[in-house]
Amino acid sequence: MEEHIKDPNELLNSIEELHPTDIANSLKKIYKNNSDEFYFVLKQLPDEILGEVILELPEYIREDTYGELSSEQLTDAVEEMDSDDQTDIIQEIEELDKEKAKEIFEGLEEENQQEINWLKRYEDDEAGAYMQTELFSANINEKIGDSIERLKHLKAEGELENIHQVFIINDDKMLLASISLEDLIIFDFEKTYEDIVNSDDNKYKPFKVQDDEDIDFVAKQFEQYDLSVVAVVGYQGMLIGRITSDDILDVIEQNATEQMYQLAGVNEEFEHEDNLLTTAKKRGIWLFINLGTAVLASLVIGLFDQTIQQYVALAILMPIVASMGGNAGTQTLAVMVRQLALGEIDYDNSKDAIKKEVFISLVNGFIFALIIGFIASFWFSTAMLGVVIALSMVINLFSAGFFGASIPLILKKFDIDPAVGSTVLLTTVTDIVGFFSFLGLAKVILL
Amino acid sequence: MEEHIKDPNELLNSIEELHPTDIANSLKKIYKNNSDEFYFVLKQLPDEILGEVILELPEYIREDTYGELSSEQLTDAVEEMDSDDQTDIIQEIEELDKEKAKEIFEGLEEENQQEINWLKRYEDDEAGAYMQTELFSANINEKIGDSIERLKHLKAEGELENIHQVFIINDDKMLLASISLEDLIIFDFEKTYEDIVNSDDNKYKPFKVQDDEDIDFVAKQFEQYDLSVVAVVGYQGMLIGRITSDDILDVIEQNATEQMYQLAGVNEEFEHEDNLLTTAKKRGIWLFINLGTAVLASLVIGLFDQTIQQYVALAILMPIVASMGGNAGTQTLAVMVRQLALGEIDYDNSKDAIKKEVFISLVNGFIFALIIGFIASFWFSTAMLGVVIALSMVINLFSAGFFGASIPLILKKFDIDPAVGSTVLLTTVTDIVGFFSFLGLAKVILL
């Protein structure tokens, strides 16, 4: 694992021994150096491996291959994929070349076409969009041994992999139970599934989710119940697919990325654009909002222009108060947003969370008030200047803690993602409170 | 799932039908309202369920239970856990009550004691710390049917669960192969494992990691190869444990949390302290560093005190330049840090990443230079003031992009986590460049 073969012929010779992920990683390196060699290898890959390799390539390379590979070769590769991957790839090709996507789609087996049409109806955040329809199910009246014979055939045809469970259904395809292979393998193969299921109702109760369930909720279920697979059911509890833990790993990683980006004012969706101007524009929108709040803060400073003119030390010191408030607030915000997402903070304990943050910010407020108070007094040889900056430090760090904790909660109450926009809202508060308290107190106390 | 039973007697009556996670969730609610009722339920739970429930409780509740439950009850509960969980719990109790931890440890079976002593030697970030020693292995010469008989007994004794694979070892316990149950179940049980393994060398090549491998690397392997379990080997390739996908889900979630916190100057480790003063102190350290950089920025402003006195509009506008630089830099930083962590950026393409960020920041630099240039010109009726702020906006957004992209790469080159400290370093740059370019240009151009 993790070694790259850079010679195309050597790579082709080792294909049998390599995992598709490793082939993709090697191809990625080859693509960078010489795209002719890349396609030389790609076009000679057997269909099944080609399909898996395409899925493991980064999106920007994958999109290039759609133009280079023939419709026939792509059709054969897609045919070998699981239904969820088939759907993703067809949709990806559609965005680049509607005609080619149609050709490939129509080249697929009837059954695959129907599955893709079904899966395409799901929204990006629905469980159904992450499920694969390939699974191993058995009728409750089936003899275990018979179903294992079926499994043998399905596996020989390459139709099934990563089977950890057999899903038990009735004649109406309603999901009744789920039996892990480790339980199945020790049973008498002459018995029927009914015999197993009746032996222990609870043990074989299936973990299932509705097809339109939010995928984030599904991910939470995986974490809470330590699942490796979950059944997806549709109309009237009919079994229609399954979601496996490897899909959920991706969901969790993706969610964390989005959240981190949102806190920083970045829209993840537009970060992988070919056209950097689009990325710049999307980031620019957040910067524009920030410009608005910065101008607002300047208007507050403008209220005190005469005070500043009389006392230029104020201009020198004022960014300190705002900066400290912004940083303390960012700390609080990160903790609140993340703990809300992880479910560690909910409405039951939101008051405790606010109290905690206010306490922490007040403790640090008093400590840094003392420090900066002394610094300012000695720097400008004016004791009262120290008092002014110390007071405004306490006020601003208090608002950082209070608003840093409240803003995400309020956003959530209005069903807005707490990570989106909370940073801008918060720095607006800490800037305005910081400048206003510092300059206002200076005007009252110093002049 | 997800419903809470708040009545203690009702909860006790439903225990057989509930998942331990659900019992823990209900108990969490009961604990909040009435801790007597909480212990009333807890003390009546059967050992096996008690063990699983304890593991699912939040740490702060769990630590309370260590004081309330007797050593005997805790010993019985711990006895039922997997080795990795046993080790964690014993270590948790050790931190609170060394004597009790010793009592519990000595009450465990000899074999468990040895495993715990072994697992305790691993560092927090080593694969060994995440593995469980409970697994299903078979000698390569064993008959499949015989090993399945063994599995039956082990499962009946409750020793094993979540078995997806049988690990094939030789007489020296060296790991040779890994066969998933789905492959095993369709084989002739009269054959030996050697017959299977010889039939296809590559298919049964085991995914394995060394026991002292970094757990983040292991998590990457799970993502790359879509694994559900990995074998852990020690000295001379001896099989010593396995890591399952549910552990990896937690690792990924935890890593994302740490990264988000680090970017915000928060130390995740100290966020769940009982003593809030400790949390405040740890956050205070980052604020202290920020205070240092803020004072540095103030010293830069101080260089231009006479300029500001002559032209107070500069004091009003200067936070805008610094704020925009800070925000643009934060965007770049979040993208760089995250993509470095996800492996999307490495040394091969780091130059491309820097170019991309500089391009984006320059595009936005010119756009916002125009906007703020007009605003400033009209606000203070001085065209040249608009020119000054526009120029410094371009300069500062350029540095935001350039340093926002370079700082994480440089930190990584020195083997420092790019998320740690990069925010402080960057805002120091954008503050100083922002104030210096704006006030410096003003001094040269305006006066």
| Region A380-395 average pLDDT | 96
Fold of A268-446: Tetracycline Repressor; domain 2 (1.10.357)
B266/A194 Cα distance (integer angstroms) = 54
pLDDT mean across residues, chain A: 92
**Binding-face residues of A in 41-80 toward B, CB within 8 A:** 56, 58
Does domain A137-256 fall into CATH 3.10.580.10? yes
Residue B364 with chain A: CB contacts under 8 Å: 280, 283-284, 287
DSSP state of B127: G
Q: Name the residue facing A283 among B266, B297, B364 (closest C-beta).
A: B364
Is the CB of A221 less than 8 angstroms away from the CB of B1? yes
| pLDDT value of residue B298 | 96
Count Cβ atoms within 10 A of the Cβ of residue A276 and give its class: 0-12 exposed, 13-18 middle, 19 or more buried. middle
Interface pTM, i.e. ipTM: 0.87
**Binding-face residues of B in 251-280 toward A, CB within 8 A:** 252-253, 256-257, 259-261, 263-266, 271, 276-277, 279-280
Is the CB of B202 less than 8 angstroms away from the CB of A16? yes
Is residue A201 over pLDDT 80? no
Phi, psi of A304 (to 5 degrees): -115, 30
Tell which of A148, A278, A291 to mutate to test the B interface (max B CBs under 10 Å).
Answer: A291
Please check whether residue B174 touches A, CB under 8 A.
Answer: no
* Distance between A264 CA and the closest CA of chain B, angstroms: 5
Is the CB of B265 less than 8 angstroms away from the CB of A309? no
Is the CB of B266 less than 8 angstroms away from the CB of A334? yes
> Which residue of chain B is at minimal alpha-carbon distance from A58?
B344
DSSP state of A207: P
| pLDDT value of residue B159 | 79
| pLDDT value of residue B1 | 47
B318/B301 Cα distance (integer angstroms) = 9
**Cβ(B121)–Cβ(B154) under 8 Å?**
no
* Distance between B42 CA and the closest CA of chain A, angstroms: 20
Q: Is the dihedral of CA B338, B343, B347, B353 positive or negative?
A: negative
Q: Name the residue facing B185 among A19, A184, A333 (closest C-beta).
A: A184
Q: Is the dihedral of CA B343, B349, B351, B352 positive or negative?
A: negative
Is residue A247 over pLDDT 70? yes
| Region A371-398 average pLDDT | 96
> Which residue of chain B is at minimal alpha-carbon distance from A162?
B182
> Which residue of chain A is at minimal alpha-carbon distance from B280?
A360
Is the CB of B284 less than 8 angstroms away from the CB of A317? no
Q: What does the pLDDT look like over A361-372, one tens digit per residue? A: 999 999 999 999
More confident residue, A346 or B363: B363
Phi, psi of B169 (to 5 degrees): -125, 165
Tell which of B82, B309, B316 to mutate to test the A interface (max A CBs under 10 Å).
Answer: B316
> Which residue of chain A is at minimal alpha-carbon distance from B267?
A331
Residue A389 with chain B: CB contacts under 8 Å: none
Is the CB of B323 less than 8 angstroms away from the CB of A431? yes
Please check whether residue A333 touches B, CB under 8 A.
Answer: yes
CATH architecture of B268-445: Orthogonal Bundle (1.10)
| pLDDT value of residue A119 | 93
**High-pLDDT (> 70) share of chain A, %:** 99
A66/A95 Cα distance (integer angstroms) = 11
Per-residue confidence of chain B (447 residues) as pLDDT tens digits?
456 788 889 999 988 888 999 999 999 889 988 889 999 999 999 988 999 999 999 888 898 999 999 999 999 999 999 999 999 999 999 999 999 999 999 999 999 999 999 999 999 899 999 999 999 999 999 999 999 999 999 888 877 888 889 999 999 999 999 999 999 988 889 999 999 998 887 889 999 999 999 999 999 999 989 999 999 999 999 999 999 999 999 999 999 999 999 999 999 988 888 789 999 999 999 999 999 999 999 999 999 999 999 999 999 999 999 999 999 999 999 999 999 988 888 877 899 999 999 999 999 999 999 999 999 999 999 999 999 999 999 999 999 999 999 999 999 999 998 988 899 899 999 999 999 999 999 999 988
Residue A3: pLDDT band (50, 70, 90) is: low
Of A151, A333, A126, the closest CA to residue A232 belongs to: A126
Q: Domain A8-121 is in which class?
A: mainly alpha
Please check whether residue B355 touches A, CB under 8 A.
Answer: no
Amino acid at B85: D
* Cβ within 8 Å of residue B172, ≥6 positions away: B236, B238
**Cβ(B400)–Cβ(B427) under 8 Å?**
no
| pLDDT value of residue A1 | 46
CA of B258: how far to CAs of A165, A182, B111, B264, B400, in Å? Answer: 34, 36, 35, 10, 24
Q: Where are the domains of chain B?
A: 8-121, 137-256, 268-445
* Distance between A384 CA and the closest CA of chain B, angstroms: 19
Residue A371 with chain B: CB contacts under 8 Å: 288, 291
> Which residue of chain A is at minimal alpha-carbon distance from B14?
A202
Of A402, A419, A418, A400, the closest CA to residue A354 belongs to: A402
Question: How many CB atoms are located within 10 Å of the residue A322 CB?
Answer: 25
Output the six-digit token pair for A314: 């104020």
Please check whether residue B15 touches A, CB under 8 A.
Answer: no
Count Cβ atoms within 10 A of the Cβ of residue B29 and give its class: 0-12 exposed, 13-18 middle, 19 or more buried. middle
